[in-house]
């Protein structure tokens, strides 16, 4: 038998490439809903089949069990009511739902009936076009940035859910549009399967569609799943045999899935999944650089040096094909923008949106919301899209005209840490940036955990020890490249 799975780095690199080229898609199975507290199929069907004298836990064909209940009741009313009752319970979304919703993916497929995925997307400000029925496929909801295909229906329409054996048998006839869209997606997108066990009741039907969809030039697809639970220390022979059997069965399944272009990443525990998704999210955002700072006073470098440093950062970001995010902080944002625009003019670039996202809040007079709340919202929005945050200066004049640290810049650092954005403070520019440099320096091993700290440490020291604009700019871009190699062109 071939090696059963791939390494996490191999998966991350391959799926990152799909994210970069906007070819990534997700397929979400019941495991993500079960983690929130919804029932597994065994638990869902258990109460329904007791009257039949059957035990759902002992039956391999759960689709057939649902059909038996419908047959006995001469209709699916009881099944529908049970479905609605189960999926009307109040459960909470998990970290996995939040991370899924943040990934820059515009195509998601699911067999789940609940609303956890769409609710998570909406909570992240995403505009969702839900496809539940064949009729939905013919109409495109305007101004949406993600399409959610609920290929087995929705709990709000229980009569139309794909649940019984006859539903699967007639799927292609009753839902030809979904079959066609899935065929197209599988042959043009790279899918990541999450919460999908490939032993779900629909596996035979699904793999039949998958096999028909994929040709010799099929794109790669990925499945993340956990190894079977290891026996506890001192476990008996029965438990050891169970583990050995489940492990052998899983390896055979993994090997078989390769026929369909599905590669498997094995993890020890599903607790590892959020961290994997966070790394994917960072890689998707690594091109986006937030430049923060304000300067009512330009000491210790001086005004000319600070403005030139900001301009060099702006030019360098665009030249390397990064995306500049800025709230146009006083004395910093304008110079950074000028540098970016200069480089865009040199490159004859016309699509400014590809390289610039600006959310200036200086001078705004909001209605119904405080100025502080508005600024916090803008900062959070920008930093939620960033992979890195560069900090310059960070000072202001208070109401008495005295020089003070900029609370806004310090708040941007706090938001960056909460969002897991890598901070790059240019301590040599003084003020809040130097304070941030000291905070990062004190927590360097944690902030840059799992990165090349031996390379990063001397670069980070340059940020606080040099006054050369070339050295400071060079250190900024080398730090970015060290953490995210290949994230931009030279």
Q: How far apart are CA 18 and CA 81, in angstroms?
A: 41
Q: How far is CA 449 from the centre of its chain?
A: 20
Two tokens at 355? 């390289």
Two tokens at 222? 């990925």
24: β partners:
190
221: β partners:
262
Q: How far apart are CA 206 and CA 137, in angstroms?
A: 20
Instruction: Assess whether 152 carries a catalytic annotation.
Output: yes
What's 133-196 look like in SS3? CHHHHCCCCCCCCEEEEECCCCCCCHHHCCCCHHHHHCHHHHCHHHHHHHHHHHHHCEEEEECC
Q: How far apart are CA 21 and CA 15, in angstroms?
A: 10
Q: How far apart are CA 191 and CA 24, in angstroms?
A: 6
Q: How far apart are CA 355 and CA 488, in angstroms?
A: 12
Q: How far apart are CA 26 and CA 148, in angstroms?
A: 10
Q: Which of the following is catalytic: 97, 152, 287, 298?
A: 152
Give the angle 107-113-114 at the CA atoms, nearest 5°. Answer: 90
Q: How far apart are CA 287 and CA 351, in angstroms?
A: 16
Contact criterion met (CB below 8 Å) for 68 and 52: yes
Q: How far apart are CA 216 and CA 211, in angstroms?
A: 11
Contact criterion met (CB below 8 Å) for 117 and 144: no
3-class secondary structure, 26: strand
- Using CA of residue 308, residue 314, residue 316, residue 319, what is the dihedral sign? negative
- Using CA of residue 114, residue 116, residue 118, residue 123, what is the dihedral sign? positive
Q: Which residues form the catalytic set?
A: 152
């Amino acid at each position: 038998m071939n090696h059963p799975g791939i390494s996490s780095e191999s998966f991350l690199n391959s799926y990152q490439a799909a994210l970069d080229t906007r070819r990534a898609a997700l397929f979400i199975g019941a495991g993500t809903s079960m983690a929130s507290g919804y029932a597994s199929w065994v638990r869902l069907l258990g109460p329904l089949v007791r009257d039949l004298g059957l035990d759902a836990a002992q039956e391999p064909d759960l689709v057939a069990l649902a059909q038996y209940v419908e047959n006995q009741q001469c209709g699916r009313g009881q099944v529908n009511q049970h479905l609605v009752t189960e999926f009307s319970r109040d459960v909470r979304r998990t970290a996995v739902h939040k991370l899924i919703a943040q990934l820059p993916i515009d195509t998601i497929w699911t067999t789940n009936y609940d609303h956890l995925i769409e609710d998570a997307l909406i909570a992240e400000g995403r505009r969702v076009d839900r496809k539940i029925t064949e009729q939905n496929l013919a109409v495109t909801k305007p101004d949406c940035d993600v399409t959610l295909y609920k290929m087995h229906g929705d709990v709000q329409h229980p009569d139309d859910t794909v649940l019984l054996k006859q539903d699967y048998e007639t799927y292609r006839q009753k839902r030809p549009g979904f079959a066609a869209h899935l065929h197209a997606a599988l042959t043009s997108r790279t899918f990541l399967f999450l919460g999908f066990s490939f032993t779900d009741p629909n596996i035979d039907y699904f793999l039949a569609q998958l096999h028909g969809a994929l040709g010799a030039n099929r794109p790669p697809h990925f499945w993340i799943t956990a190894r079977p639970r290891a026996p506890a220390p001192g476990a008996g022979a029965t438990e050891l045999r169970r583990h050995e059997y489940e492990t052998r069965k899983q390896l055979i399944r993994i090997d078989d899935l390769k026929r369909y272009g599905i590669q498997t990443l094995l993890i020890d525990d599903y607790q590892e999944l959020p961290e994997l998704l966070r790394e994917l999210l960072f890689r998707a955002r690594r091109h986006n650089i937030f430049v923060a700072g304000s300067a009512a006073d330009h000491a210790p470098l001086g005004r000319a040096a600070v403005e030139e440093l900001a301009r060099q950062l702006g030019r360098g970001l665009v030249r390397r094909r990064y995306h500049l995010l800025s709230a146009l902080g006083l004395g910093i944002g304008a110079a950074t923008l000028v540098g970016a625009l200069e480089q865009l003019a040199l490159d004859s670039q016309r699509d400014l949106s590809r390289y610039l996202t600006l959310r200036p809040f200086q001078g705004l007079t909001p209605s119904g919301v405080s100025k502080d709340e508005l600024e916090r919202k803008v900062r959070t929005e920008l930093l939620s899209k960033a992979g890195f945050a560069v900090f310059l200066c960070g000072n202001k004049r208070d109401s008495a005209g005295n020089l003070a640290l900029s609370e806004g810049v310090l708040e941007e650092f706090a938001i960056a840490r909460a969002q897991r954005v890598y901070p790059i403070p240019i301590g040599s520019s003084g003020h809040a940036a130097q304070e941030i440099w000291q905070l990062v320096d004190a927590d360097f091993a944690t902030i840059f955990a799992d990165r090349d700290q031996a390379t990063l440490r001397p670069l980070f020291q340059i940020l606080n020890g040099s006054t050369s604009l070339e050295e400071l700019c060079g250190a900024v871009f080398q730090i970015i490249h060290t953490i995210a190699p290949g994230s931009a062109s030279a």
